[in-house]
């Protein structure tokens, strides 16, 4: 066997997994189109998909990280809320964190299930993203009182999904917008001046094609200059459509997303595709049925669209199902609909550069977890839409990313939202053991005079950077032998070399490759900018 086999990027994608894109010490990934240069300017680049990756050597691999569970941030225990509260959206508006979610409840008996009260669209707010309160809004009456946080009842309250409109041409009185609706009536458009009092923009649906019984969302895409909407539909199982609009009322015909999984075709050695065992997931190339999508531009790198979909899979009445928490209650639920007893859900992660073709990581981003009573039920671990920065609970640590996850769904207990945290850019890292490994990028062109790295090493670990020409030849002064050994834990540690120090100004505007050599370390992102 050749000591250093070379694979195409397609073979690279097929032969890897989210936990370890490269496990062989001799595996190399070669570029698809040689010397094709991507201009990145001063953009922050993450390792969440393969576009800029040319080669990975040695023990290096790409690793999907899992957020850390924190406190229960919100318990849905008000009379207008309940066990099926879900479809949460969170975003920051200045110093205020805004949360929107569905208030609903359901009762399961031996005769079936029933809705306990009409669904409501609810609102909460926070000044730190950790502690939340319900304001008394005095907008809608519930059981004879207006002392509640309900912002909408009626058409669309099942999945009311507001967002802060960043379109520079947006009128002040429409600063907030929302989509909401059902499969019967389609998606309706709403607007608001204050994020609380909403009114319909049209009496008729603005999007009609789809199955809208989950969170269907929209946002202004600053990079493309259009509104994008993502909604639920079916294509040989649960899937996602996307459409665009210039004015939020007139939308293009939506198209299904396409996916690139790590093993979406049969490997040469006969390894089957990466796909779950759900018989209802009948779409080749899609790793799982995707119940929700939760797609958002990443605010620290808006050219990257990150998705946090819910994986849906019905495992059937297996032996393991009998060992899951509260089996008797699971059987009660399953008597009315089998999936209520046998289907399970968890959180996934995917990424795209064009908003339509997504690199899907097959492994779970957030698992149902070790809770012993209320976990591992259908409806659990639905991730919220939106990423917000919150202060770390660790003294003197920088801010981190917070996501919120539904728990206790469809239970005899109130639903709740748990907060999870992740370091900034911490979705995927380039990592290697102490024996080392390396990654080389495709040719890129940058602006700025300084290369900053988001990295974490052990006390003995390190990261070094070599800058090469497009042919892979080290540029004098920027060779690996010239690179200072970097160690520590930082969101923005400057790469440096012995002669030019940390300045890469002489290389700005020229096509180059970056070679990262790492040992017992994680590299999360890199960015060129002016110091």
Same domain, 432 and 369: no
What is the rounded average pLDDT of the residues 167-186? 95
Alpha helices in 15-165 (DSSP H): none
Six token digits for residue 381: 């671990």
Could you report the per-residue pLDDT of 407-436, keeping only the tens digit for each? 998 888 899 999 999 999 999 999 999 999
What is the rounded average pLDDT of the residues 147-173? 96
At residue 385, the 3 state secondary structure works out as: strand
* 169 burial level (CB within 10 Å; 0-12, 13-18, 19+): exposed
Task: Give a yes or no: residue 72 inside a domain.
Answer: no
The CATH number given to whatever domain includes residue 488 is: 2.60.120.260
Same domain, 201 and 225: yes
Task: Give a yes or no: residue 174 inside a domain.
Answer: yes
Same domain, 331 and 444: no
Task: Give a yes or no: residue 85 inside a domain.
Answer: no
* Residues above pLDDT 70, as percent of the chain: 91
Q: Which of 422, 457, 480 is the last residue of a domain?
A: 422
**Structural domain span for residue 468:** 6-65+428-529
The CATH number given to whatever domain includes residue 240 is: 2.115.10
Which of these, 386, 372, 449, lies nearest to 417 by C-alpha position?
Answer: 386
Residue 315 binned pLDDT confidence (cut-offs 50, 70, 90) = confident
Six token digits for residue 282: 């009948």
Could you report the per-residue pLDDT of 206-248, keeping only the tens digit for each? 999 999 989 999 999 999 999 999 999 999 999 999 999 999 9
Per-residue confidence (pLDDT) for residue 3, from 0 to 100: 34
Same domain, 459 and 523: yes
Same domain, 410 and 436: no
Give the pTM: 0.91
pLDDT at 20 over 80: no
Q: How far apart are CA 106 and CA 336, in angstroms?
A: 12
Task: Please check whether residue 258 is in contact with residue 281, taking contact to mean a CB–CB distance below 8 angstroms.
Answer: no
Least confident of 137-141, 225-229, 393-397, 450-454: 393-397
Per-residue confidence (pLDDT) for residue 305, from 0 to 100: 98
Task: Give a yes or no: residue 158 inside a domain.
Answer: no
Same domain, 404 and 432: no
Task: Give a yes or no: residue 84 inside a domain.
Answer: no
Task: Give a yes or no: residue 118 inside a domain.
Answer: no
Which residue in the block uniquely carries the two structure tokens 């603005």?
A: 206
Same domain, 364 and 272: yes
Same domain, 230 and 170: yes
Q: Which of 422, 442, 460 is the last residue of a domain?
A: 422
pLDDT at 263 over 50: no
Six token digits for residue 335: 């008597």
Could you report the per-residue pLDDT of 90-123, keeping only the tens digit for each? 999 999 999 999 999 998 888 888 889 999 999 9
CA 80 to chain centre: 29
What is the rounded average pLDDT of the residues 255-260? 94
Task: Give a yes or no: residue 83 inside a domain.
Answer: no
What is the rounded average pLDDT of the residues 380-404? 96
* Residues above pLDDT 90, as percent of the chain: 78
Same domain, 411 and 447: no
- For the chain, what is the domain count? 2
Task: Give a yes or no: residue 120 inside a domain.
Answer: no
Residue 35 binned pLDDT confidence (cut-offs 50, 70, 90) = low
Inter-CA distances, 431 with 61, 65, 197, 247, 525, Å? 6, 11, 48, 44, 12
Same domain, 401 and 519: no
Name the phi and psi angles at 525, rounded to 5.
-165, 165
Q: Which of 386, 406, 422 is the last residue of a domain?
A: 422
Same domain, 440 and 396: no
Residue 276 binned pLDDT confidence (cut-offs 50, 70, 90) = confident
Same domain, 342 and 250: yes
């Amino acid at each position: 066997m050749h000591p250093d086999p070379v694979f195409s990027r397609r073979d690279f994608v097929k032969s890897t997994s989210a936990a370890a894109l490269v496990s062989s010490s001799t595996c190399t990934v070669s570029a698809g189109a040689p010397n094709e240069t991507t201009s990145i300017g001063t953009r922050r680049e993450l390792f969440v998909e393969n576009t800029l990756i040319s080669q990975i050597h040695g023990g290096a691999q790409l690793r999907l990280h899992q957020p850390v569970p924190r406190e229960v941030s919100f318990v849905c225990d008000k009379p207008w809320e309940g066990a099926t509260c879900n479809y949460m959206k969170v975003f920051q508006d200045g110093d205020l964190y805004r949360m929107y979610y569905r208030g609903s409840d359901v009762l399961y008996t031996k005769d079936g299930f029933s809705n306990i009260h009409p669904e409501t669209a609810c609102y909460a707010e926070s000044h730190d993203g950790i502690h939340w309160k319900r304001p008394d809004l005095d907008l809608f009456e519930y059981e004879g009182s207006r002392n509640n946080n309900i912002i909408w009842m009626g058409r669309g309250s099942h999945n009311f999904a507001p967002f802060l409109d960043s379109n520079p041409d947006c009128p002040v009185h429409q600063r907030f917008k929302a989509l909401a609706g059902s499969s019967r009536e389609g998606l309706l458009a709403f607007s608001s001046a204050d994020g609380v009092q909403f009114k319909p923009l049209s009496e008729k649906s603005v999007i009609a094609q789809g199955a809208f019984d989950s969170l269907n969302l929209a946002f202004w895409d600053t990079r493309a200059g259009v509104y994008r909407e993502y909604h639920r539909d079916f294509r040989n199982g649960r899937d996602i459509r996307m459409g665009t609009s210039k004015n939020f009322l007139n939308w293009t015909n939506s198209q299904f997303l396409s996916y690139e999984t790590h093993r979406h075709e049969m490997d040469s050695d006969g390894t089957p595709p990466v796909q779950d065992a759900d018989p209802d997931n009948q779409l080749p190339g899609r790793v799982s049925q995707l119940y929700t999508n939760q797609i958002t531009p990443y605010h620290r790198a808006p050219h990257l669209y990150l998705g946090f979909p819910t994986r849906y899979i019905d495992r059937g009445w297996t032996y393991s199902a009998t060992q899951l928490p509260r089996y008797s209650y699971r059987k009660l639920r399953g008597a009315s609909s089998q999936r209520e007893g046998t289907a399970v859900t968890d959180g996934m992660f995917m990424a795209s550069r064009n908003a339509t073709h997504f690199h899907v990581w097959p492994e779970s981003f957030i698992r149902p977890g070790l809770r012993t009573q209320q976990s591992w039920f259908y409806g659990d671990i639905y991730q919220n839409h939106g990423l917000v920065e919150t202060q770390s609970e660790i003294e003197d640590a920088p801010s981190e990313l917070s996501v919120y996850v539904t728990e206790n769904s469809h239970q005899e207990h109130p639903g709740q939202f748990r907060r999870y945290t992740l370091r900034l850019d911490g979705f995927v890292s380039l990592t290697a053991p102490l024996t080392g490994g390396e990654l080389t990028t495709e040719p890129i062109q940058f602006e700025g005079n300084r290369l900053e790295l988001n990295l974490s090493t052990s006390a003995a670990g390190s990261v070094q950077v070599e800058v090469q020409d497009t042919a892979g030849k080290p540029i004098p002064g920027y060779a690996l032998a010239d690179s200072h050994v970097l160690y520590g834990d930082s969101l923005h540690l400057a790469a440096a070399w012995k002669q030019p120090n940390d300045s890469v100004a002489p290389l700005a505007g020229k096509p180059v490759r970056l070679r990262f050599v790492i040992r017992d370390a994680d590299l999360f992102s890199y960015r060129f900018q002016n110091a």
